[in-house]
Copies of this chain bind each other. A is one copy, B any other.
Amino acid sequence: MKAAILNAYNEPLEIADIQIDKPGPREVLVKTAASGVCHSDLHIIEGKIPIAPPLVAGHEPAGIVEQVGRDVSYVKPGDRVIACLSIFCGLCEYCTTGRTNLCGGADQDRQPGEPPRLSRDGVPILQAAQLASYAEQMLVPENALVKVREEIPLDRAALIGCGVTTGVGAALNTARVKPGSTCVVIGCGGVGLSAIQGCRIAGAGRIIAVDTEEWKLELARKVGATDGVNGSDGSAVETVNEMTGGGVDYAFEAIGLKQTIRQAYDMSRKGGTTVMVGVTAVGVDVELPGFDIVVSEKKILGSLMGSNAFRVDMPRYVDFYLNGQLLLDEIISARRPLEDINVCFDEMKKGAAARSVIVFD
């Protein structure tokens, strides 16, 4: 099958034929229908999240079940599924206390002696996050999958697999945004636009979008922002604090940069909450003012994949889409074949896309 391979950091992905194994007892072979292109993959390509190549990245997919392992009971061939990297065991301290997104399921790879899931002429290829959705097929654990309704097209369902769940869940699950509260979202890519929608769905009174691209601010308003602030001139913190009389209740950072995390913090009011959604490069320290954290009693919350219990959350987000509460068509900037995947990353680097989706035949 065809896949996009990272052979070395900072090189363009290579499209090539590779081999995929057969399902083990609790594994599922999925025909990939679509995969969103997420910024964390750019971190992997650039070595900022260091995972050793050769590898296949991609972790925001939807598809159709082709084949299931002996002990799989949750899905059958023909089922329409979203795959999520929050693979859960259902048994650990995190799963049994309702925090399945913190289960280490995705870290467990195959046992010694088992054939690799992916290989090329006998050389193992790493399957990033146990998904590797920049490929025509995926061989994934059963507990990486959630079934979805027939009615949602799979290119839109794919986005729910990571970015949309990360953003919407940051508002609904991590922050538990209160109706009537004030929110700011820094960064209006796929995750930020989803956080804005999460705030809207939660009934926030004011949702301020911050970005340096005017077209993204327009898009932000289209999906639910009540205000847009262009941060190009460096005055966004001051502007937001003036607009809100001293800062917002919830400040979401959806980029993953040290500077914008500090800006989000500085936009949060006394007693307010900063939600760190954007994934920073490994090794980057966030610098926050110690005295102010204590005397202003602020909260800083990390949010991993929108604190999801994805088998519960994702069908709800599908419902939100189908009933018009969650806008997905609007945040897709481009649909491209796998062959054009490097174009997607080039555009991402330039800030020229909200969310690109790779679509397969």
Q: Digitize A244-283: 1 where CB-to-B-CB distance is under 8 Å, 0 elsewhere.
A: 0000000000001010010000000011000011111111
Question: Smallest distance from the beta carbon of A252 to chain B beta carbons, Å?
Answer: 12
Query: Is A298's CB within 8 Å of the partner chain B?
Result: yes
User: In the bound complex, how far is the Cα of B289 from the Cα of A287, in angstroms?
Assistant: 9
| A270-B102, A299-B302 known; A285+B294 contact, CB < 8 A | no
User: In the bound complex, how far is the Cα of B260 from the Cα of A342, in angstroms?
Assistant: 44
Q: How many chain A residues touch B (Cβ–Cβ < 8 Å)?
A: 41
A261: B residues at CB distance < 8 A: 290
A276: B residues at CB distance < 8 A: 290, 293-294
Contact of A286 among B99, B278, B293, B307 (CB under 8 A): B293
Q: Digitize A61-78: 1 where CB-to-B-CB distance is under 8 Å, 0 elsewhere.
A: 000000000000000000
User: In the bound complex, how far is the Cα of B289 from the Cα of A280, in angstroms?
Assistant: 9
| A94-B271, A271-B94 known; A291+B295 contact, CB < 8 A | no
Contact of A295 among B279, B293, B296 (CB under 8 A): B279
Task: Give me 17 other A-B pairs in contact (C-beta within 8 A), A286-B293, A293-B302, A297-B307 excluded.
Answer: A99-B271, A102-B271, A256-B290, A258-B290, A276-B293, A285-B288, A285-B290, A286-B287, A286-B290, A293-B300, A294-B302, A294-B304, A297-B302, A297-B303, A298-B302, A299-B299, A300-B301
Q: List 15 A-B contacts (CB under 8 A).
A: A99-B271, A102-B270, A102-B271, A276-B294, A279-B291, A285-B287, A286-B288, A287-B287, A295-B302, A296-B304, A297-B302, A297-B303, A298-B302, A299-B300, A299-B302
